[in-house]
Structure 1
């Protein structure tokens, strides 16, 4: 498995600058910031952190959007990903990640050991080593994150599940002989009833 986090700017209420233009986008951002506050009382628009695990063989992806990329969030995500893949007949044995703080933490290491997962790291400053998840993030940005005009961050987050289903079950993938990634999972429970 390859794991990584993609950082995206949150969309202000009314839409972001990519679709409504810089001038109107700044107005939407200012209005959103004046309504919402972070834990310290400052304006909040901030970032969304998309945590992703992608299977090296099948290219099946599991992803969640969170408000941070801390070790606690990454470990919780790993546990949910292990359960999600187990429901589909896949056992995670190894996880390849970059050298981010969440993946270098003792919490990550201890949880990987508890789940019987070997944690491996890419060489520093070599994102090509984790290229499968990096390419997935580019496809995700084009197909979901910036594919259309979302009027709020929540609307974009709600659209992720449908896009991910399309990617895993229906979108042809060149690494899978132009079949969807899910076609390479041959031991999914209930598949041969």
Structure 2
């Protein structure tokens, strides 16, 4: 890769070749371009042997690495990482390797961060993203304790807050996230019964249709009873002409986009500041969702908000 002060870019190498082909000496052309004669001869040789493709940058990685750790040893490093979840400092002494060498091996095989692994099995988690909005909708419910009037323990302190919290019950935040665009929709309900889930799905479909996602093809949920057994949920899917999909048992990463949204929901709405009442927290949800969908930057979307991905896809498929 050429750096910003490079004397020769791909364009400069073409210019070098053209001047030499015109019959001028290589030494003269090198001098006026501010490069050495060996460098000029190197690019001329590459052009003569490989043509235009020889003028592009190539990897500086060596063809052979005689001192690289053997494949069986690397396999043992990977096995200890996946089976025992050991880090470089623990794997190194077991195999007689330095921690830095172990870290390079783990990085080479994509195992350097435990977040990349499925904790129960040790397998590398395969990330996926659907090709277009509406192809897959993730749905989940997050349960939150209600806040008593006057505030809970974050406002009153741990002991006083515990006394006011008794028998307050829970709020159930139903959320739907589009797999491709990450556009999100949430509602707060007093339960997670089948009728509630079905009605939420219909309203979520209306919300997505208002934002240009007029067709929901599949809906992915966990294995909660309303999604597996209820007639109301199946009827809602049928009304939308959508297919219901369930995650594998004990594999929340399959539904990971809405699980990650739930974490953002807690960090940037539910726990971002002390609320003095449950109504105050509930009212703040609309503001959070607007910011999430229209303004919040997403690393998975190249720093853009979800609505930009929806708009881009609309332009692509129209």
Is TM more than 0.5 here?
yes
Query: Which of 181, 185, 188 is the equivalent residue of 2:306?
Result: 181
Partner of 1:10: 146
Judging by fraction of residues, say which structure has more strand: 1
| Residues 1:102 and 2:238 are matched in the alignment | no
Query: Which shows bigger deviation, 106-115 or 77-86?
Result: 106-115
Aligned counterparts, 1:112-131, within 5 A: 112-131=237-256
Q: What RMSD over aligned residues (CA atoms) do the two structures have, in Å?
A: 1.5
Judging by fraction of residues, say which structure has more helix: 2
1:50–1:63 Cα contact (<8 Å) kept? yes
Distance 1:29 1:89, change over 3 A: same
**Cα separation, 1, equivalents of 2:169 and 2:163:** 16
The two structures have a TM-score, normalised by structure 1, of 0.87
Residue 12 of structure 1 deviates from its aligned partner by: 1.0
Q: Secondary structure of 2:280's partner?
A: helix
1:88–1:188 Cα contact (<8 Å) kept? no
Give unpaired runs (5+ residues) of structure 1: 31-43
Aligned counterparts, 1:70-81, within 5 A: 70-81=193-204
Partner of 1:85: 208
Residue 27 of structure 1 deviates from its aligned partner by: 3.3
**Cα separation, 2, equivalents of 1:111 and 1:172:** 32
**Cα separation, 1, equivalents of 2:268 and 2:290:** 12
Query: Which of 283, 289, 293 is the equivalent residue of 1:158?
Result: 283
Residue 18 of structure 1 deviates from its aligned partner by: 3.2
Partner of 2:236: 111
Q: Runs (4+) of structure 1 moved beyond 3 Å?
A: none
Q: Secondary structure of 2:311's partner?
A: coil
Partner of 1:142: 267
The total of aligned residue pairs comes to 176
Partner of 1:29: 165
**Cα separation, 1, equivalents of 2:255 and 2:152:** 30
2:199–2:236 Cα contact (<8 Å) kept? no
**Cα separation, 2, equivalents of 1:111 and 1:59:** 22
Q: Secondary structure of 1:186's partner?
A: helix
Residue 111 of structure 1 deviates from its aligned partner by: 1.8
Which has the greater radius of gyration? Answer: 2
Residue 168 of structure 1 deviates from its aligned partner by: 0.6
1:97–1:130 Cα contact (<8 Å) kept? yes
Residue 28 of structure 1 deviates from its aligned partner by: 2.6
**Cα separation, 2, equivalents of 1:106 and 1:124:** 21
